[in-house]
Structure 1
């Protein structure tokens, strides 16, 4: 133990743990850090080596007996069945299943999606319903044969602290210097501060800012392997890390069909991993995201207010030197095209990920730090209960180039630093100005990139500054771009000039004296932009009447109806033969084609059945589809009419499509492992007529 270890163990007895113990156990297991430290705090809260060794053995034994590994699900279920009940450590999700009209728990590694759960558990722990929670959970076996489930949850305890005193936390902070506190925070996330330069320490602290400041918009782009996503995936149980593919407004913000708020209502921080891979099908998602990033509120029929911060992390594929000295590229290059200047302008802090060291065991600490969950509780308390913005506003003085969103972003960044590093009170003037300078730099990095993208001077005031203690104005620069002319003075092209820009456009690269590079060449004039999927098709749609002949290929639901769906919000399909499994599969594929039109909100199916139909199976299959569509904020209404015979698709934009055979016009493939088994456009068709014509809206 060094001096800081002795100090922190004395002040925060029982709230700290030796981080090398975590590193020892972490290898070879996919258990989140805060779960492991929960166990280490229980069994290894000592500085006696013999007790620690015994505690480690207890932790390993607990993991061996109670942690369910994904490949041991069958053994775990058998253990419950034979013993009657058993306690596990697992991640628990709770889902409402409409066809059953009840909630079911799903245990991730126990591998059961139909575990009965009492209302009190998900009522007291909302995050069970949104993303799930790691818990100590006692699973019991249901002996009642008439029930349709085998297991139920007898007891559940989220792996979090049961009590947290912010006053005690602040009293402990008051006994440490600012630099000691930075080192304690870094050791708490597993890093050894003695091996890091002060600026890198500040970068690591900055990664924590979205965890303490509400509605804080953060972005970090940089090389792979620097641990960008770790802070959001494992450090705090109040943060969730999602992939870009989940970026739907129903998942993130509000599901109109369920009348339920999305992830922003349940988590302190919603982080997007691999931000360049975000796929946005519905332009409304970005508009709602803009509203939420601006002020923490949005409207989707109801007014929703939430505190969640949004963090975006991703990778840069070009060197920073190339980018800042290029007239073509900017440091927002990896972002999806839907992230326009309005989204970028809402980022308060752009962390220079290229300055962060690569993950290495050399930077791991073997000293004491807070139990991860303890620090996470402190951050959660501050995000919900404390406000340092007014304190910063009264103390900070910014230069004339700082505009509205610049000021807000800078102040929120400084306020977040105060929450992390000075929870007990105000910093000195020197410390305060250090945070201001860092915040101004992080906001300038955002503004420089917007200025490169904009063809006019809307964002030209990039020389952001603050007034120091001596009353002098201090202009802050970003180290990577300070001497890059292409970033500081980007070329403005006259949009009214008839003369096309020279092509190819060459961007000179500069990365230091004596260093040369081949220029990046981009042939702008010869690179046509592909039309957006959300833009209307210019070709005027016409009525059509044609025959699909027996054995024809090249037809699919999407190719037939897709062009006629533009602007559609509601679709009604009448087809009496959506009964048996393969017909319902056809309808699922039809729905998959429809949902590619982002404006669709409702699908109405009118079908029928006869005496040979397995109505129970039909109902179950359609209910599963209905549930799946609800997750995409699309309502499926099903009506059964026993005497119908017509087949017709009506779209509320005025088009009607009649297919003589309805949806069932494909031949059964010769082999389910041959071409056409999955791609309908490659499958042979039965003969049928198709009529597409205008009608009045229904």
Structure 2
């Protein structure tokens, strides 16, 4: 242990964990971080290496015996039925059923949506009713045949803090310097601060800002593989990550039919991963989003007020120098077309994702950090209970170019920094100025891009500034665009250009000097220079995302079809194509695949166990094989009793791995409800998807 470790353990005894142990186990398991840390805090709370090794083995044994994996639901249910009861680690949701007039628990990986639960559990733990809670849960078997349920919850212990003392948290913070506290937080995230530059440290802290400041609108765009979505998917149980799919007003904001508030009412942060893939079909959704991002409230038949922050993360496919020196592109390029300037103007902070390092073990820490859930509770408390905006307003002085939304965004960003790094005290003048400079830069990045898009001077005041402690006015620039004329002084587009009165060749000549100047600083798309309008073919890219429990908008076509171009053969490894609903899923998969006309062969490698009705399985797969033959497609079936992996390999080089295989849809509540036939409308189980080129 180094000096920081010793101090952290002294101040927060019982609330810290060695992060290298988390990394070691995390690489071999698909378990949420706070579940691992819960077990490590129980079994590895020691400095003795022998005890730690024994504790690691105990953690792995507990995960093996008690953690329900997505493909082992049937086995888990069988254990309960044969043994009478069994203890599992799983995520538990509780829903009220109007028809039954009672509450039912749904266990995510146990794959049962009708488990009886006592009122005391969801009365004591609100999160069961608000998005679900990871817990150690004892499931018992119901022997009474007349009851309409097979399982009930006998005991439930949350894998989260039951109480949080904010005063104690603040008292311990006062024993630390700012830089020590900053290091504690970075180590909690899993990073070693000594390997990061001061600017990178601020970037990583900025990723946490939406977790502490209500109604904070955040965006980060950059290369793939920099960990943009981790902070919203695994760091805090109070945030939810939406991976692509349709963004509807009923899901996000309010369902008029059910009279039920959407995600913004249950989560501290609603984050959108792969923002370019968001589909907004209902124009009302955008209007409600604008209202909510502006002031945290909206009206949809009823007036709704919520504190949720909105975060958007996605990928840039062009180099930053190419974008900032181009008249054609801007740094908001990946956003959906439905996201207009009014949405962009509501972003308080644009984090430059292109400056973030790729995920690498060289940046990981081997030291102690807070138990993730403890810090998440601290952030949750501050989002709900503290307000630093007025304190910032009294201390900051901004220049004349700072307009209404600029001021609000800058102040909220500084307030969020104070909550994270100075939860109960005021920063020094130097520290406060550091936060102000970062906040102004993050807002200027937003305004520069809007100014490039706008045909008039509405957003032309981009030289945002502040007055320092000595009274000097200081203009803040974004480092990537400071020397880019195309961004600092963009050419105004002719708002009457749509009448085509000027021939395209003439327009190309007029634009040439500006574009040539841009080319001198960076490579620009050939189409921008020549004026040609040839269609741009979007190149397929690798993807790694999570489909969350209850998400809709996903189907075999949306996931697989784009990666089948030119393919003749496809090979599926999935050991769980054996019972009726799994074979039905495989039929739907084949229906999606054969819409690619070049496909001529489908190969299935699967397995079965002692509980499988092999005869029935064989008959149904034979029927499918004959049906495909009539369409001139060969289905080859191989049985491998020892296989466990699930992946799809296409002969054009792409591999698609889904954690749950093809069986990632929830069973419908009714076979006559929406989602029975159209899989994009059916709710999903939680699973990870990895698409990569071999």
**Alpha-carbon distance in structure 2 between the residues aligned to 1:214 and 1:97:** 31
**Alpha-carbon distance in structure 2 between the residues aligned to 1:623 and 1:517:** 53
Shift, 1:525, TM fit: 8.2
Count of paired positions: 543
**Alpha-carbon distance in structure 2 between the residues aligned to 1:166 and 1:116:** 35
Radius of gyration: which is bigger? 1
Unmatched segments (≥5 aa) in structure 2: 537-668, 683-694
Conservation of the 8 A alpha-carbon contact between 1:321 and 1:509: no
SS of the residue corresponding to residue 517 of structure 1 reads: coil
SS of the residue corresponding to residue 343 of structure 2 reads: helix
1:26-41 mapped onto 2 (5 Å cutoff): 26-41=26-41
Corresponding residue number in structure 2 for 1:4 = 4
Conservation of the 8 A alpha-carbon contact between 2:527 and 2:534: no
SS of the residue corresponding to residue 527 of structure 2 reads: strand
With over 3 angstroms needed to count, the CA separation of the structure-2 counterparts of 1:509 and 1:432, relative to structure 1, is: farther
Conservation of the 8 A alpha-carbon contact between 2:92 and 2:133: yes
- Partner residue of 1:521 out of 498, 504, 527: 527
Unmatched segments (≥5 aa) in structure 1: 530-618, 633-698
Corresponding residue number in structure 2 for 1:571 = none
**Alpha-carbon distance in structure 2 between the residues aligned to 1:170 and 1:323:** 44
**Alpha-carbon distance in structure 2 between the residues aligned to 1:328 and 1:511:** 11
With over 3 angstroms needed to count, the CA separation of the structure-2 counterparts of 1:396 and 1:65, relative to structure 1, is: same
SS of the residue corresponding to residue 672 of structure 2 reads: helix
Conservation of the 8 A alpha-carbon contact between 2:44 and 2:55: yes
Shift, 1:510, TM fit: 7.8
**Alpha-carbon distance in structure 2 between the residues aligned to 1:170 and 1:410:** 25
SS of the residue corresponding to residue 106 of structure 2 reads: strand
1:622 pairs with 2:628: no
Corresponding residue number in structure 1 for 2:625 = none
Corresponding residue number in structure 1 for 2:686 = none
**Alpha-carbon distance in structure 2 between the residues aligned to 1:434 and 1:516:** 31
**Alpha-carbon distance in structure 2 between the residues aligned to 1:450 and 1:620:** 47
Corresponding residue number in structure 2 for 1:369 = 369
**Alpha-carbon distance in structure 2 between the residues aligned to 1:510 and 1:88:** 64
With over 3 angstroms needed to count, the CA separation of the structure-2 counterparts of 1:511 and 1:196, relative to structure 1, is: farther
**Alpha-carbon distance in structure 1 between the residues aligned to 2:227 and 2:105:** 32
Shift, 1:85, TM fit: 1.2
**Alpha-carbon distance in structure 1 between the residues aligned to 2:230 and 2:84:** 38
Conservation of the 8 A alpha-carbon contact between 1:15 and 1:370: yes
Conservation of the 8 A alpha-carbon contact between 2:276 and 2:335: yes
**Alpha-carbon distance in structure 2 between the residues aligned to 1:201 and 1:134:** 30
1:499 pairs with 2:549: no
Shift, 1:155, TM fit: 2.3
Corresponding residue number in structure 2 for 1:236 = 236
**Alpha-carbon distance in structure 1 between the residues aligned to 2:503 and 2:101:** 63
**Alpha-carbon distance in structure 2 between the residues aligned to 1:282 and 1:121:** 38
1:239-250 mapped onto 2 (5 Å cutoff): 239-250=239-250
SS of the residue corresponding to residue 245 of structure 2 reads: helix
For residues 299-322 of structure 1, give each alpha carbon's deviation from its aligned partner in whole angstroms, at most 9, with x where no partner exists: 111111111101000000000010
Shift, 1:120, TM fit: 4.0
Corresponding residue number in structure 1 for 2:540 = none
For residues 36-70 of structure 1, give each alpha carbon's deviation from its aligned partner in whole angstroms, at most 9, with x where no partner exists: 11111122222232332232222222212211112
**Alpha-carbon distance in structure 1 between the residues aligned to 2:4 and 2:187:** 10
**Alpha-carbon distance in structure 2 between the residues aligned to 1:431 and 1:27:** 37
Conservation of the 8 A alpha-carbon contact between 1:322 and 1:509: no
Corresponding residue number in structure 2 for 1:547 = none
Conservation of the 8 A alpha-carbon contact between 2:93 and 2:132: yes
Conservation of the 8 A alpha-carbon contact between 2:322 and 2:524: no
Moved more, 44-53 or 240-249: 44-53
1:264-663 mapped onto 2 (5 Å cutoff): 264-496=264-496, 498-499=501-502, 502-503=507-508, 508=515, 517=523, 519-522=525-528, 526=533, 621-623=671-673
With over 3 angstroms needed to count, the CA separation of the structure-2 counterparts of 1:30 and 1:620, relative to structure 1, is: closer
With over 3 angstroms needed to count, the CA separation of the structure-2 counterparts of 1:509 and 1:198, relative to structure 1, is: farther
Shift, 1:150, TM fit: 1.2
Shift, 1:5, TM fit: 1.0
**Alpha-carbon distance in structure 2 between the residues aligned to 1:106 and 1:315:** 35
Conservation of the 8 A alpha-carbon contact between 1:130 and 1:262: no
**Alpha-carbon distance in structure 2 between the residues aligned to 1:122 and 1:509:** 65
Shift, 1:156, TM fit: 2.3
1:111-122 mapped onto 2 (5 Å cutoff): 111-122=111-122
1:216 pairs with 2:216: yes
**Alpha-carbon distance in structure 1 between the residues aligned to 2:517 and 2:110:** 55
Corresponding residue number in structure 1 for 2:84 = 84
Shift, 1:363, TM fit: 0.5
SS of the residue corresponding to residue 622 of structure 1 reads: coil
Corresponding residue number in structure 2 for 1:196 = 196
Moved more, 12-21 or 121-130: 121-130
1:73 pairs with 2:70: no
**Alpha-carbon distance in structure 1 between the residues aligned to 2:165 and 2:670:** 50
Shift, 1:496, TM fit: 4.1
Q: Could you state the TM-score of these two structures normalised by the residue count of structure 2?
A: 0.74
Conservation of the 8 A alpha-carbon contact between 1:509 and 1:517: no
For residues 245-281 of structure 1, give each alpha carbon's deviation from its aligned partner in whole angstroms, at most 9, with x where no partner exists: 1411111111111111111111111111001100011
With over 3 angstroms needed to count, the CA separation of the structure-2 counterparts of 1:524 and 1:302, relative to structure 1, is: farther
Q: Could you state the TM-score of these two structures normalised by the residue count of structure 1?
A: 0.74
**Alpha-carbon distance in structure 2 between the residues aligned to 1:207 and 1:52:** 32
With over 3 angstroms needed to count, the CA separation of the structure-2 counterparts of 1:178 and 1:128, relative to structure 1, is: same
Shift, 1:102, TM fit: 4.2
**Alpha-carbon distance in structure 2 between the residues aligned to 1:83 and 1:302:** 50
Corresponding residue number in structure 2 for 1:696 = none
SS of the residue corresponding to residue 136 of structure 1 reads: strand
Shift, 1:238, TM fit: 0.7
Corresponding residue number in structure 1 for 2:602 = none
1:149 pairs with 2:134: no
SS of the residue corresponding to residue 245 of structure 1 reads: coil
Shift, 1:213, TM fit: 0.4
Corresponding residue number in structure 1 for 2:252 = 252
With over 3 angstroms needed to count, the CA separation of the structure-2 counterparts of 1:431 and 1:627, relative to structure 1, is: farther
